[in-house]
Each structure stands twice: as C-alpha cells, then as structure tokens.
C-alpha cells in the first residue's frame, strides 16, 4: 500500500487512515459473498464482538451463506453471550 500512496503523491499511512475497520465486516456481508463472509468472521473473532451481534445473527439466518460460515457465526454469537 505504501507504494500506491507514493505513486499517488500521498503521505504514508493516508489510505489506511481512510478505512473504518469497524465497518469492514458489514461491507463484506453486503457483498453477499461467502468468501468475504468467511474473512469477516475471522476479523470479528479478533475484535470486540459485542458490536456485531446483529450482523452475526444475520449471517446465521442467511440461506446463501455456507453452513460452515453460519456455524462459525453461531459460535461467535454463543461465545459473545457466554463471556
């Protein structure tokens, strides 16, 4: 990313500063891609899950999401409420 910033004449770290990492899992869900949902679930597992309860419930209920990812979301939800 630093190379792209330099090519564009931007200060280092500028592009990362423009990303709202909290919103990233929501964007992945909106893409309706099981691949991106899997990535988002990995990110959520490393973040504060309390903010993602509604999103995780949506993943669990979404029929287009693979069973594997729905089970991951269910586990994250159950871990959130048992902690």
* Residue 60 · residue 70 · CB < 8 Å: yes
Portion of the chain with pLDDT greater than 70, in percent: 92
pLDDT < 70 regions, the chain: 1-2, 80-83
C-alpha–C-alpha distance, residues 57 and 54, integer Å: 5
* Residue-level pLDDT at 40: 95
**Among 30, 55, 60, which residue's Cα sits nearest to residue 44?**
55
């Amino acid at each position: 990313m630093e190379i792209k910033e330099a090519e564009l004449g931007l200060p280092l770290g500028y592009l990362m500063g423009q990303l709202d990492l909290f919103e990233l899992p929501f964007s992945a869900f909106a893409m309706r891609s099981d691949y991106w949902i899997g990535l988002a679930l990995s990110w959520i597992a490393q973040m504060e899950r309390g903010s993602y309860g509604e999103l995780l419930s949506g993943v669990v209920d979404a029929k287009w999401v693979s069973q594997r990812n729905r089970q991951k979301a269910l586990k994250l939800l159950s871990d959130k409420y048992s902690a």
